[in-house]
Structure 1
Amino acid sequence: MLRNLSSAFILSFVMGLGSANAGISQVTPDKTLPTPSEVTPSCTNCIINGGLQQGSNLFHSFQEFSIPTGGQVLFNNGLDVQNIFSRVTGNQPSVINGILRANGTANLFLINPNGIQFGANAQLNIGGSFLATTADALQFDDRTQFSAKSPTPLFSNRAPVGLSFTNPAPIQVDGAGHRQLVTSLQGGFASRLAFTGQGQATSGLRVQPNQTLALIGGDIVLNGGLLTAPAGQVEIGSVKTGIVGLSSTASGFRFDYPQSAQLGDISLLKQSAIDTTGDRFSNIRLRGNTINLNDASLLVIENTGSGTVGNIELQADQQINFIGLTPFNRQDQLPLIQKISRSITSLTTSGTGANILLSSPNIRLTDSAYISALTLGNGNAGNIQVQANRLDIQGIAETEAAAIASNITTSTYGIGRGGSIDINAGQIEVSRSGLIYTTTYNLGKAGNISINSQNLLLDGGNLRIAFGASSSLGTALTFIPTNLGSNSVSSANSGNVFVQTQQLRVTNGAQFGTVSLVSGQAGTVTINASESVTVAGTARPTQFDLDQRLTPEARQGLLQLQIDPSSVTVDRPVPSIIGSGGGLRNLFTEQVTNFFLTPISRAGSVTINSPKVRVDDARITVQNAGIGDAGELTLNANQIQLNRGGAIAASTFSGNGGNIVVNADQLWIRDESEITTNAGAGGNGGSIGLTSGVLAVLNNSRISANAERGRGGNVQITAQGVFTDRSSLISATSDRGPEFDGTVQINALESQLQRSSLRVLPTPEGSKIVTICPSQADPRASTLIDNGTGGIPSNPTDSLSSRRGWLPKAPASTTRSQSPPRSNPPTEIQDWVLNPDRKTVRLVVVGRGTPHAASTSPC
């Protein structure tokens, strides 16, 4: 539809081109001014004199106004003129394919309700700001107006304050599109834009530094068009009906759109670009009903100074669409490290980067579109803020040879701080390798991420494959899952992630969390979900013919690695993860790489608060794959379910295991699932503290705080009921021997559960001690009976088993009382503690009975 609109608009100009295509300007004054505009008829290089001057305002009025290719029009104003107002009262659109000029620093306004088209050769040579509009009239603060549809003899010497619209025609800017590339930085770990002269485009519409370039009209289409305002402002507003406010600023003008205004559509196509790079001011603002950035079209601000700049702001009443790559701009011909930049980029070195602000009911990123805020030096990167009812981020374009996923990201490659990402949206869905992340590659801390939503879904599906460039840090074959989080690839810390939602779902191999790959501290992860948290499923890398998709440079790079690109397949499934980790095993990528660095990073902490938490064939983890310690993991929930190999882990390869604290009414660990704080070489096992009404560990599942060469950890369980089966395990052992084992302490309070409360196993009877008469044989004699592993009665038909449960089984015994009972009545066993010899159990009584006198009765 958008392309059809563009074509229809071009056709509307055909009748108006006429002699303009023959090299003759169509600049024809009308007779509506007391002092008419003056121009030589049939001129190619035209000079406009005359007009009506009121104070510092100069008014011109034309029947038609167009400039052919190679033509020029000069408004020959006096240097005391601040504003030139030029209107078209005829019924033809303006076609500008030459140069518009004015003297001094005057601002130039071109008003034509019939439409305005700027061709590929259109240029501006003016000292002030430029406003092209298809408004009906320009309004002044003395309530007069300069109307193109209803000319009046009243003219003001005051400042303009508004533009009035009634079904205006479109504005279109044509051009050849930008050639700004993404190139490798820091050995392939990062990328930046290699501009063809930031803020210095040699084609398209360009104003002088610190000025405004504005297009305010009906539907606005940039068809490969380039708009440049160095250290200034570019404003694009699409309005159907209403009045747009206008006021002066230090960099030109500001525009205000009332809520009552009906807005139109804005489309940037065929690698269009808007650039306001500079050392101050630098704003880009788009305001419409629907905003589309297609075909790698780009909005960019680079702060070239040491101060602050403005914002990149998009606000749409209905929808904002970012489409990175399309068949139009297929990029297979470009090397892996050079890709056309797309969507939105904020960049800085010494100053503070521009903030990126997006607001619309629906925001969608697809086909390798990306929105990024970067710093390369000691300046802080800009922040990204998103306000929407629904946000969709969908992965990698099918035309992409070297995978660049659709993403919202902030990064630091210097000592400056990375920008934060704040998203407030009702529904958020990130899928097909889509990304929301912050990263540090140097000494600057990565930015934080804050998400506020009703429903947040991260869905992996099939993974995509990307190839990193050769570097001193290695060459990587990387699988890109869907992820949301913060990374550190340096000694700096990654950012923190905070999520407030009703439902969080991390599925099919998606990844959520923070990670540090070198020596920094992984950030904290905090999740508050008022309904549920679900982590479920795995993903496998997509298999496809790499050799057919790679450029010669990429293919040669694989040959240097001795990898045959036509035979690369990976079958290892990647689990869904929520976590904070350290070391080489990035939560977000599984890499085949030749890193020469030994990671000493530290895992962060994860806190989850939700009524329901389900981990199904997936992981919640604070693991550390380097030599650092694992992190801290806290879960507070009414019900927690671990199914089909689900894991809650604070394990480590060589450091100390972390700490896990779980508070739940019901905790089910089933089907080879686990809660573990195991430690690898040299580290000690971590601590596990479980407080639950019901704890069930079933079907080859385990709770473990084991160590290989260090000491076993600690497992402490407090529950009303603890249920295990013979195949499951609760342990805190060390491979070095019994003297290095940890402790397992289970505080099983008196159960108040009914049999109907348990859906898996019935409530086991506790070991009871009853008082009997010493002179009588009674079937109710005091006994201590082996109820089996974890209190589950042994089956008398089972064969003897040497399988070790959470504690060794001692022979059952029955002892008849041989003397009168003591003055204290017997009490129930309330606690079991595994002794250091690993063979005996210390039985702990919680509370004592009330003393009473010995009975003299014979029973």
Structure 2
Amino acid sequence: MKTKRCLGCWHLGFLGFLTTVWLNSFADRALPQNTPSNIQADDTLGAESSQIIQNFQGQPLEVITGGATRSINLFHSFREFNISEGREAYFSSPNTDIQNILARVTGRNRSEILGRLGTFGESKANLFLINPNGILFGKNASLDVDGSFAATTANAIQFGETGNFSATNPEVPQLLAINPSAFLFSQINKTASIQNNAIAPTGKDPAGFDAVGLRVPDGKSLLLLGGNVSMDGGQLNALGGRVELGGLAESGNINLVLDGDNLRLGFIENVTRADVSLTNQAAIYVEGTDGGHITVNARNVEILAGSLLSAGIGQGLGTPETKAGDITLNATEQVKVEQGSQIRNDVFPNATRRGGDLTITTKELFVRDGAKVGTNTFAAGKGGNLTINASNSVQLIGTSINGRSSLSTFAGRGSTGDVGNLTINTQDLLVRDGAEISSSTLGAGKGGNLSVNAIGRVQVVGRSADDSFSSGLFASANQGSTGDAGNLIITTKDLLVRDGAEVIVSTFSTGKGGNLTVNASNSVQLIGTSADGSFSSGLFAEATLDSIGDAATGEAGNLTITTKELLVDDGAEVSASTFGASKGGDLTIKVQNLLVQNGARVTAGTFGAGKGGNLIVNASNNVQLIGTSADGSVASGLGTPASRGSTGDAGDLTITTKDLSVRDGARITAYTFGRGTGGNLNVNASNSVQLIGTSTDGDFPSALLATAQPSSTANAGNLTINTQDLLVRDGAQVSASVFGRGQGGNLTVNALNSVQLIGTSADGRFSSGLFADVRGRLSGDGGDLTINTRDLLVRDGAQVGTGTLGRGKGGNLTVNASNSMKAISGSADDRLPSGLFSSAQPGSTGDGGNFTINTQDLLVMGAQVSTGTFGRGKGGNLTVNANHVQLIGKTVNDIDPSGLFTATEQGSTGNAGDLTINTRQLFVRDRAGVFVNSRGTGNAGIMTINADTIRLDNQASLNANTRSPNKDPNREQATINLNTQNLTLRRNSSITTNASGENVIGGNININTKFLIAPENSRISANSDNFRGGRVRINAQGVFVGNKLSDVSNYITATSGVGLSGSVDVNSPDNSSLQNSLTELSQNLIDTNALLANSCIVRSQEKQQSSFIITGTGGLPNRPSDASMSNYSTGDVRNITNENTSFHWKKGDPIIEPQGVYRLWDGKLVMSRECQND
């Protein structure tokens, strides 16, 4: 009894000491007088049992004394431990040595903490509340502890190797004198959980904001360890300290680490965890001056309905030495952050030093309905890194009234700290319905890098339901920032971006844009637009405009895609661009196969003063561009544009692949609409290049284009194609043209095997072909067009052309076809001839370019090859160097002749160019011809043909007719010069230099030949209708015209319609002796019986004869005038056999062919075979 009284006196004395200090705080709170809380000590501690003083000093307060002291630890044990609403319970620390107060509940009911739980006394001890049946913190619950606080449903707390303090095995070992080391879960109560609903006020945080809920002293730890842990609207506060939530669903141990008076849990990998959930605006706050960690270890973590996890350096807090703590979520199954909830680790305004990191490790992460997970800096401190490790998947979905679902690292306006990096490691990533993953800066600090590593696939899909946000991945330097944007790297197997979603690296200000790099081991698919078509799905690297239309001055980043299969479809885009004065980034694509179709586009361009980036495509297999958008307004394509109003140069476009196909209205373009120079377009296709057809509506021909558009004042770039085979058909086109004031680029085709240009568009509006034109009235000179190939085919209305419509000079056209060049037939509707043209078009003042053909065999059949002028400029020269030249037939509608032309057309004033043919054989037939005509007021050109043989047949013609007087006294016009071994004209063929019009002299004809043969009403004339005839001069060894000698003057003329005849000079030996000396051959000119021996050939027995063998090369002579090259050889004559044979061949017997020609003893030659020895 004395002992009790003394013990009680000691307690009363100790509490009396606090009456004026500590108890005054209770009076200040003026709490109601309630029934005492249900706190019942058990007897497991024996004489050291806990003592409960109820309604202490008349206050709604229970004071707990007694307990078992073991060195630094004080143990309490209760059958029931509850604190009623409006009441308080405090544990007393009797001496300064006490570091830990441990209270267990051995009964079967959970603890309900509805009021205040605290500690007081001589030390600032940590408080542990252990109840395996569960613990509830009500809405008005609060903490008033001096150290850290841990609430757990564990069965026991381990103390190293010395034993444990157990709620289910309540015996207390005597040597629990060390710090606790683990929580033991040996008898799991499946219904036991920890629930925190506390929202009672707890004063101000260090930044001056109101705090509510459970709170430990700043810098201390607050641990809730279940079973399941849930927070329904409740809040936890360990400002600058640590909050840890977690639990086990099966037996196991959780390590406890004490760092001074800070507590930390250690979860091992092989335990089955319980769930943690926060809902209805539940919150955890740890931001402060320093530290501030949040750790959650669970099976499933749910942060729902506006709930919040917040760490970082509070507003105006921190020192140069401080660093914010980290947020770590580790869930073996799922983490869900939904319904506007947030997890954030921030450096708040006016704070200093670095923010903490945020790491989530789980199997599946869901961020939905406007939820946000991020690290941010609003001050000088660097933002922390955000790292997601999700072994299965990460899904970000949707928006809310608070914004879009997001994973982000961010630097706010006015901040100077760098943004943290954002890294996602997962199997599959899904971002959809307006959600985003971003790393961006609005301040002076650099943006963080955004890295996605998805072993399976990355899907970025759609826009928000209200169409306000595109789903996307973003790394940006935003409006007003001066820092550079970070890089964005996606590494995955398959990437899908569709339905208006975007992946963007950008700068809106002075900082540089980051690089966008996609490495997809299998495929990248970019598909579609937003529902209204306003936003294209795609990948973008931009230096762009801010919200008020000001252009960024920082350089755009580069965009690189590496994958096997790249699909850009249905209006989607891949773009590297600049809208400002800075340089645009390069766009590099490394694939096996690239397919761009249905109005999709891949571009690297400039919209401002900066130079556009280059577009580089390396496709080991093929590149295909197909079709247009569904409404036909946008062609699928690759391009490097310098857009309207821009002043920067466009970048170059280079394609390296095996096969390139452009069809159904798709196009590849390098063009300028502004003052900047157009880029070069280079195609390197080791196998083939095919351009086929037009768009469905016929408005867009499939095309390769390097052009300067009408609004441009700059030069167009060059267009070069290197391939094995080039096919352009059904209205497709390849063009290097200038519409503006600049110079046109050169078009060069190097095709080792063939170039085939075939047909027109279905409606006949577009000829398939190659073009290098000056199409603007004020344009500069056009570029040259050069074709280097083995075989060139132009047919069915296809065309090759250089020309000028303005004051610029047309480019030169050169064809080097080592084997053959063929221009054949017109279009299917007979409206357009096939052909190759170099011309100065109506209204032009510039000269047309020259046209040179170098080939082995040239065939023009139903087509035309020409240079000419329709305007004031001079037509170009046409030069043909070929082994064989054939010109056959007429062109469309059987009206215009096929052939070679240099002409001035009606209404023109410029001179025509000259036409030169160097060949072995020129064959012109069936109304085809060679023409150097003038139909305008300019001079006709001069035709010069150097050939071994010239043959004109069936109304064929060589024509240099003119309507214009000669304007140049120092130069002839409408002159034909023929230098040949043999000149033949048959069946009404002609050579003419006739003149019509006032005071127009007939042109001259100069023929130097060995033989001139012109029967069957063929003619040579240099006549003039209204003035003096021209001059015909012929130098030949033989001239055979008409049917008799007098026909020369009838068929070779230089007459005048007004009596002023020109001259005809024929210099040839007298061939009159041949007149009428030809004899018609008999039908049986050769007696075949005299040439064939009816037996084999043997030598005579009477006399041995020697043999003589004649050998020759065989075949026909190279030219008709050559001697025969195929003399018969003679065989040996053998001895005759003794056997008498007689053979008479009759119909039906086998034919034994002779083996050679044999010379008999009398000199006679016979055809026979050798006899065989039996």
TM bracket, shorter-chain basis: 0.7 to 0.9
Change in CA separation of 1:420 and 1:767 when aligned onto 2, cut-off 3 Å: closer
Q: Secondary structure at the match of 1:422?
A: strand
- Cα contact 1:423–1:450 (8 A) shared by 2: yes
> For residue 36 of structure 1, what is the amino acid of its counterpart?
S
Q: 2:135 aligned with 1:144, yes or no? A: no
In the TM superposition, what is the alpha-carbon distance from 1:196 to its structure 2 partner? 7.9
Residue pairs, 1:268-307, within 5 angstroms: 268-303=278-313, 304-306=317-319, 307=322
**Residues 208 and 767 (structure 1 numbering): CA distance in 2 closer, same or farther, change over 3 Å?**
closer
Note the 1:360-759 alignment, pairs <5 A: 360-388=362-390, 389-397=392-400, 400=401, 404-413=403-412, 414-465=415-466, 479-489=468-478, 490-540=481-531, 571-584=532-545, 595=548, 597-616=550-569, 617-654=571-608, 655-664=610-619, 665-671=621-627, 672-680=635-643, 681-708=646-673, 709-719=675-685, 720-725=687-692, 727-735=701-709, 740-749=715-724
Q: 1:676 and 1:794, CA in 2 relative to 1: closer, same or farther beyond 3 A?
A: farther
Provide closer, same or farther for how the CA distance between residues 114 and 783 of structure 1 changes in structure 2, counting only shifts above 3 A. closer
Q: Given the superposition, is the C-alpha separation of residues 482 and 139 from structure 1 closer, same or farther in structure 2, using an over 3 Å criterion? A: same
1:172 aligns with 2:138: no
Matched-pair contact (CA < 8 Å) for 2:139–2:200: no
C-alpha displacement at 1:238, in angstroms?
1.5
Tell me the residue number matched to 1:755. none
The 1:232/1:789 distance shift into structure 2, 3 A limit, reads: farther
Q: Deviations over 1:688-746 (max 9, x none)?
A: 11111111122222222211222222111111211113612222222478982221111
In the TM superposition, what is the alpha-carbon distance from 1:62 to its structure 2 partner?
Answer: 1.4
Distance in structure 1 (CA, Å) of the matches to 2:252 and 2:279: 27
Q: 1:24 aligns with which of 36, 54, 57?
A: 36
Q: Aligned pair in 2 of structure 1 residues 127, 819: CA closer, same or farther (>3 Å)?
A: same
Letter in 2 for 1:46: E
- Paired letter, 2:283: A
1:229 aligns with 2:242: no
Distance 1:96 1:90 in 2: 16
Give distance in 1, aligned partners of 2:293 and 2:681.
57
SS in 1 for 2:387: strand
- 2-structure distance, mates of 1:245, 1:502: 39
Report the counterpart of residue 797 of structure 1 in structure 2.
828
Count of residues paired in the alignment = 700
Offset from partner CA, 1:416-456 (integer Å, 9 cap, x none): 11111100110111000010011111111111111111333
TM-score by length of 1: 0.76
Structure 1 position 382, deviation (Å): 0.8
Whether the 8 Å CA contact 1:199–1:275 is kept in 2: the answer is: no
The one-letter code matched in structure 2 to 1:23 is T
> 1:178: Cα distance to partner?
11
CA-to-partner distance for each residue in 1:498-555, whole Å, 9 max, x for gaps?
Answer: 1111000001110012011122221101111111000010113xxxxxxxxxxxxxxx
State yes or no: 1:80 paired with 2:97.
yes
**Is the 1:533–1:612 Cα contact (8 Å) retained in structure 2?**
yes
Query: For the structure 1 residues 394 and 784, does the alpha-carbon distance in structure 2 shift closer, same or farther, using more than 3 Å as the test?
Result: closer
- CA, structure 1 residues 802+130, in 2 after alignment: closer, same or farther (shift >3 Å)? farther
Partner of 2:333: 318
Structure with max Cα Rg: 2
Mapped contact 2:689–2:726 kept (Cα < 8 A): no
C-alpha deviations, 1:467-506, integer Å up to 9, x for none? xxxxxxxxxxxx3100102111123221101111100000
Give, in whole Å, the separation in 1 of the partners of 2:486 and 2:838: 42
Distance in 1, matches of 2:425 and 2:668, equals 38
1:40 and 2:53 matched? yes
Work out the CA distance in 1 between the residues paired with 2:243 and 2:723.
69
Q: CA RMSD in A?
A: 3.2
Does the CA contact (< 8 Å) of 1:201 and 1:228 recur in 2?
Answer: no
Q: Is the 8 A contact 1:216 1:237 kept in 2?
A: yes
Q: Cα deviation per residue 1:65-107 (whole Å; 9 max; x = unaligned)?
A: 1111222222221222111111111222211122222223111
- Superposition deviation, residue 342 in structure 1: 3.0
CA separation of 1:324 and 1:792: change in aligned 2, threshold 3 A: farther
Letter aligned with residue 743 of structure 1: N
Unaligned runs of 5+ residues in structure 2 are: 1-31, 628-634, 694-700, 728-750, 757-789, 801-821, 840-848, 852-863, 867-879, 886-917, 922-1114, 1120-1174
Q: Structure 1 234/21 Cα, relative in aligned 2: closer, same or farther at 3 Å?
A: farther
SS of the residue corresponding to residue 76 of structure 1 reads strand
Structure 2 length-normalised TM: 0.56
Indicate conservation of the 8 Å contact 1:440/1:488, yes or no. Answer: yes
2:398 maps to a residue whose letter is: G
Distance 1:408 1:178 in 2: 31
- Report the CA distance shift for 1:253/1:297 in structure 2 as closer, same or farther (over 3 A): same
**Counterpart secondary structure, 2:328:** strand
Q: CA deviation at 1:311?
A: 1.0
The answer to whether the 8 A contact 2:606-2:649 is kept is no
Q: Does 1:161 align with 2:161?
A: no
Taking a change above 3 Å as real, the CA distance of residues 178 and 461 of structure 1, as seen in their structure-2 partners, is: farther
Determine helix, strand or coil for the equivalent of 1:740: coil
Return the alpha-carbon distance in structure 1 between the equivalents of residues 172 and 81 of structure 2. Answer: 21
**Does the alignment pair 1:766 with 2:754?**
yes
Query: Which residue in the other structure is 1:91 paired with?
Result: 108
State the Cα deviation string for residues 140-167 of structure 1 (Å, max 9, x = none).
1133111111111413111111111121
Please state whether the residue corresponding to 2:323 is helix, strand or coil. coil
Cα separation, 2, equivalents of 1:294 and 1:604: 38
Residues of 2 paired with 1:99 and 1:365: CA distance?
Answer: 35
Kindly indicate whether the alpha-carbon contact (under 8 Å) linking 1:458 and 1:482 is maintained by their aligned counterparts in 2.
Answer: no
Counterpart secondary structure, 2:707: coil
Structure 2 residue identity aligned to 1:242: G
Name the counterpart of 1:14.
none
What amino acid maps onto 1:662 in structure 2? V
- For residues 190-221 of structure 1, give each alpha carbon's deviation from its aligned partner in whole angstroms, at most 9, with x where no partner exists: xxxxx987586543111112211001111111
2:266 is the counterpart of 1:256: yes
**Which residues of structure 1 form unaligned runs of 5+?**
1-19, 180-194, 326-340, 467-478, 541-570, 586-592, 753-762, 769-781, 822-854
